[in-house]
C-alpha cells in the first residue's frame, strides 16, 4: 500500500514533515485543580489533575516527596470498533505507567512531601498518537494546576514508510506495520525523557527519524507556550491587572 | 447545639466569605435561601444555562455533548448487527451504559467507581426504555435473522450536580443525531456494512435499508432534578448543593407533558403532595426550555 504517493503527499494530504493540526484548551473540567483538552488532528484527549492532596492509601505515602498517580482510559467509542474493556487491559496499564514515569521526571516532587498528585487522562477519540497527545495534555493540565515542574514535557511520534521519515502518524499509518518512534522531551533543557520504538530500523535511519520526532516535540512546545501565555493574559484581564 | 450556633454567629462577623462557605456550608446556603436566591445568583426555580452540540464524536454513528452549567456529558451511539432474541424476532436492542471516569470529580478514585454511576446508569436505562421514545421494531433488519444493537455510552466529563438531567438530555440528543449505517446482504447471507469505498459491492448487493436511516423518536423524555430543603424547592442543584441538602427528587416528563417517571429516593426532607405538584410545575417549564434547545440543535445540524 502506498503511504506516500509519488508527489510526496501522505494519505491525508500532509507532507512527510508536516504535523497534524493542534488545538488545546485549558480548564476543560471545572472541578479539577488543573485540566486541559488537547487535540492532534482527530485524536482528542482530556487530562485532569487533582493535587497536591492527601494521600489516599496511607501505606503508600512517601515522606520526602509527592506520590504521582496516573490513569489512562479510553472511551468505549473512541476507536473504530467499540472496545469492551477500556480500562484494565494491558495496553492501558502500560500507557498509564509510561505517562506517570514521564511526568514524574519533570515534576519537582520534593517540594510537596507526603502528598499525592493524580493525573487522569481520558481519550475521547483515537486516531494514532494517543500517547503523545496524553502527555501534552497532562503537561498543560499540570501547568494549569500550578504544580512546580522543571520544564514542559512535550511528545510527538514519527515513523518510516515507503523509505520516507513521516512525522505524527495517524491510525492508518501507525497500523501499517512500519516502525513507530515516540519521543518525549523537556524542550528548554533539551533532554529526552521518553523514547519508545517498535519494529526494526537501521541505526542511521533511526537517528533521522528520532531527530524528526524531536523537532515535532519542539513545535508542540512552542504551541503549548503560546496557549499558556494566552491563558495567563486572560487571567490577568479577569483580575483587572 | 445552641452554644455552637452562637459560636458560629460570633465567628461569622469576622470570617471571610470563602472560609464561612467551607466551614458552615448549610448556614451559608440558608442565608441565601432566605433572600430567595442561590450563591450563583439564580432564583430558586431556575435551571443553569444549558447547551447542546450534536455530532461531537466523529467516529460514532450518533453523538452529542450536553452541558448544564458546568456538568458535561458526552454521549455516543455505536451500532452493531446481531441476531434478535427468539421471543422478539422483530425487535432490535438498546444497551445503555453510564460512566464516570476519574477526571470528572475530585471524589471519584480509580479502582473505586463512583457510587452515583451505576445508579444513574440504571435510572437512565429504565427511563429511556420505558418512555417508548424508541420503537425497537425500527431497529430490525431481517425478521428473525438480523437486527441492530445500539450501544449508547455516556461519559461524564465534569460532575457538577444534576447528572441524570444532563445524561438524559445527551442521550435524547444522540438518538436524534443517529444515522443508521447502510447495510447490505452479501453472498454468504451475512449482513455487511456498506462503506463508501465499496462502490463495486454496492452495485452487486442492493442495500437492505437505504431508506430507513433516521430513527423516529416520539415522546422524548426530559428530566428536572430538584432539591427539597425545609420549605424551599431548588431546581437544578450544583454538586455543592447536592452534598449539603440531601433530599433529591427527579421528575421526568415527555414532550407532551405526560409524567414518565418520578424518583424520590428517601432523604431527610419529607414532601407533601403540594410540594410535588410544585416540582411538576417547574418541570413542565423546564421541558419547554429543553425542547426548544434540542430543536435548535437539530436544525443547526441540518443547516450544515
Using CA coordinates, name the residue in chain B closest to A33.
B106
> With bands split at pLDDT 50, 70 and 90, how would you rate the model's confidence at B164?
very high
0.90 surpassed by pTM = no
A26-48 mean pLDDT: 94
Among the partner residues B57, B97, B159, nearest to A124 by beta-carbon distance: B57
pLDDT digits (tens, 9 = 90+) for A190-199: 999 999 998 8
ipTM (interface pTM) = 0.83
A153 CB neighbour count, 10 Å cutoff: 27
pLDDT at B301: 83
Q: Distance between CA atoms of A34 and A170, rounded to whole angstroms? A: 28
A159-181 mean pLDDT: 91
Residue B159: is its pLDDT beyond 90? yes
Among the partner residues B70, B76, B157, nearest to A77 by beta-carbon distance: B76
Q: What are the chain B neighbours of A76 within 8 Å (beta carbons)?
A: 76, 78, 97, 99, 151, 153
B133-155 mean pLDDT: 89
The percent of residues above 90 in pLDDT, for chain B, comes to 52
A179, A159 Cβ separation under 8 angstroms: yes
**Does A80 contact B155 at a Cβ distance shorter than 8 Å?**
no
Q: Distance between CA atoms of B13 and A238, rounded to whole angstroms? A: 28
Best A37, A69, A77 residue to mutate vs chain B (most B CBs within 10 Å): A77
pLDDT digits (tens, 9 = 90+) for B6-47: 445 555 566 788 888 989 999 999 999 999 999 999 999 999
Q: What are the chain A neighbours of B155 within 8 Å (beta carbons)?
A: 75, 122, 124
> With bands split at pLDDT 50, 70 and 90, how would you rate the model's confidence at B4?
very low
Q: Distance between CA atoms of A217 and A61, rounded to whole angstroms? A: 34
pLDDT digits (tens, 9 = 90+) for B174-210: 999 998 888 877 777 677 776 654 444 444 555 666 6
pLDDT digits (tens, 9 = 90+) for B266-303: 888 888 889 999 999 999 999 999 999 999 999 988 87
Using CA coordinates, name the residue in chain B closest to A50.
B106
Cell numbers 487533582: residue: A50
**In the predicted model, what is the mean pLDDT of chain A?**
92
B171, B74 Cβ separation under 8 angstroms: no
Residue A109: is its pLDDT beyond 90? yes
Residues of A in CB contact (< 8 Å) with B are 28-32, 35, 42, 46-48, 50, 53, 56, 69, 71, 73, 75-80, 82, 118, 120-122, 124-125
pLDDT at B204: 52
**Does B159 contact A31 at a Cβ distance shorter than 8 Å?**
yes
Q: How far is A190 from chain B (nearest CA, A)?
A: 31
Q: How far is A126 from chain B (nearest CA, A)?
A: 9
pLDDT at B304: 59
Residue B85: is its pLDDT beyond 90? no
B217-244 mean pLDDT: 92
- Alpha-carbon separation of residue B91 from A125, B143, B145, B150, B191 (angstroms): 31, 8, 11, 12, 16
Residue B144: is its pLDDT beyond 90? no
Sheet holding A22-26, edge to edge: A22-26, A34-40, A43-54, A115-125, A67-74
User: Is the dihedral angle over the CA atoms A85, A91, A97, A100 positive or is it negative?
Assistant: negative
B64 CB neighbour count, 10 Å cutoff: 30
A122 CB neighbour count, 10 Å cutoff: 28
**Does A76 contact B103 at a Cβ distance shorter than 8 Å?**
no
Q: Distance between CA atoms of A241 and A236, rounded to whole angstroms? A: 5
Using CA coordinates, name the residue in chain B closest to A49.
B103
pLDDT digits (tens, 9 = 90+) for A52-103: 999 988 888 889 999 999 999 999 888 877 766 666 788 899 999 999 999 9
**In the predicted model, what is the mean pLDDT of chain B?**
86
Least confident of A105-114, B132-141, B217-226: B132-141
Residue A111: is its pLDDT beyond 70? yes
Q: How far is A31 from chain B (nearest CA, A)?
A: 6
> With bands split at pLDDT 50, 70 and 90, how would you rate the model's confidence at B1?
very low
B288: helix, coil or strand?
Answer: helix
The grid coordinates listed for B259 are 409524567
**Does B160 contact A73 at a Cβ distance shorter than 8 Å?**
no
Best B72, B81, B95, B102 residue to mutate vs chain A (most A CBs within 10 Å): B102
pLDDT at A130: 93
**Does B74 contact A124 at a Cβ distance shorter than 8 Å?**
yes
Across the A:B interface, residue pairs with CB atoms under 8 Å apart total 79
Best A11, A20, A29 residue to mutate vs chain B (most B CBs within 10 Å): A29
pLDDT at B9: 54
Residue A122: is its pLDDT beyond 90? yes
Amino acid at each position: 500500500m502506498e503511504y506516500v504517493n509519488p508527489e510526496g503527499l501522505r494519505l491525508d494530504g500532509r507532507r512527510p514533515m508536516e504535523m497534524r493540526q493542534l488545538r488545546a484548551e485549558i480548564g476543560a473540567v471545572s472541578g479539577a485543580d488543573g485540566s486541559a483538552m488537547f487535540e492532534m488532528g482527530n485524536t482528542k484527549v482530556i487530562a485532569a489533575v487533582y493535587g497536591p492532596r492527601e494521600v489516599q492509601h496511607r501505606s503508600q505515602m512517601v515522606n520526602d516527596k509527592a506520590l504521582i498517580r496516573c490513569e489512562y482510559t479510553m472511551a468505549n467509542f473512541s476507536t473504530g470498533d467499540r472496545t469492551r474493556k477500556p480500562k484494565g487491559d494491558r495496553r492501558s496499564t502500560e500507557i498509564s505507567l509510561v505517562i506517570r514515569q514521564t511526568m514524574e521526571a519533570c515534576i519537582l516532587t520534593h517540594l510537596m512531601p507526603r502528598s499525592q498528585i493524580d493525573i487522569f487522562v481520558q481519550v475521547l477519540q483515537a486516531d494514532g498518537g494517543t500517547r503523545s497527545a496524553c502527555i501534552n495534555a497532562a503537561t498543560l493540565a499540570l501547568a494549569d494546576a500550578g504544580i512546580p515542574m522543571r520544564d514542559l514535557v512535550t511528545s510527538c511520534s514519527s515513523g518510516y514508510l515507503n523509505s520516507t521519515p513521516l512525522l505524527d502518524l495517524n491510525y492508518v499509518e501507525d497500523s501499517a506495520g512500519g516502525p513507530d518512534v515516540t519521543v518525549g522531551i523537556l524542550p528548554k533543557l533539551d533532554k529526552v525523557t521518553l523514547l519508545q520504538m517498535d519494529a526494526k530500523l537501521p541505526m542511521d535511519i533511526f537517528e533521522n527519524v528520532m531527530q524528526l520526532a524531536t523537532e515535532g516535540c519542539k513545535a508542540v512546545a512552542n504551541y503549548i507556550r503560546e496557549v499558556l501565555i494566552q491563558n495567563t493574559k486572560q487571567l490577568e484581564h479577569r483580575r483587572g491587572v | 447545639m445552641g452554644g455552637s450556633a452562637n459560636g458560629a454567629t460570633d465567628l461569622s462577623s469576622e470570617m471571610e466569605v470563602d472560609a464561612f462557605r467551607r466551614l458552615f456550608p448549610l448556614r451559608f446556603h440558608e442565608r441565601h435561601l432566605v433572600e430567595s436566591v442561590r450563591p450563583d445568583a439564580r432564583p430558586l426555580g431556575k435551571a443553569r444555562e444549558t447547551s447542546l452540540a450534536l455530532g461531537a464524536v466523529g467516529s460514532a454513528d450518533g453523538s452529542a455533548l450536553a452541558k448544564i452549567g458546568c456538568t458535561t456529558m458526552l454521549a455516543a451511539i455505536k451500532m452493531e448487527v446481531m441476531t434478535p432474541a427468539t421471543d422478539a424476532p422483530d425487535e432490535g436492542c438498546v444497551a445503555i451504559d453510564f460512566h464516570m471516569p476519574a477526571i470528572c470529580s475530585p471524589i471519584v478514585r480509580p479502582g473505586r467507581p463512583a457510587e452515583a454511576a451505576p445508579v444513574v446508569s440504571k435510572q437512565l436505562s429504565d427511563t429511556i426504555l420505558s418512555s417508548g421514545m424508541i420503537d425497537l421494531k425500527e431497529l430490525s433488519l431481517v425478521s428473525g435473522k438480523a437486527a441492530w444493537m445500539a450501544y449508547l455510552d455516556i461519559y461524564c466529563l465534569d460532575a457538577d450536580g444534576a447528572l441524570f438531567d444532563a445524561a438524559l438530555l445527551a442521550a435524547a440528543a444522540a438518538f436524534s443525531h443517529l444515522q443508521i449505517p447502510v447495510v447490505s446482504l452479501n453472498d454468504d447471507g451475512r449482513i455487511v456494512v456498506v462503506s463508501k469505498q465499496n462502490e463495486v459491492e454496492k452495485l452487486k448487493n442492493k442495500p437492505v435499508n437505504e431508506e430507513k436511516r433516521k430513527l423516529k423518536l416520539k415522546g422524548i423524555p426530559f428530566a428536572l432534578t430538584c432539591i427539597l430543603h425545609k420549605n424551599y424547592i431548588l431546581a437544578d442543584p450544583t454538586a455543592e448543593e447536592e452534598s449539603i441538602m440531601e433530599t433529591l427528587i427527579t421528575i421526568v416528563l415527555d414532550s407532551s407533558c405526560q409524567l414518565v417517571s418520578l424518583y424520590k429516593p428517601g432523604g431527610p426532607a419529607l414532601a407533601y403532595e403540594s410540594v410535588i405538584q410544585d416540582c411538576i410545575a417547574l418541570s413542565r417549564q423546564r421541558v419547554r426550555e429543553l425542547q426548544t434547545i434540542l430543536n435548535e440543535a437539530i436544525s443547526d445540524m441540518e443547516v450544515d
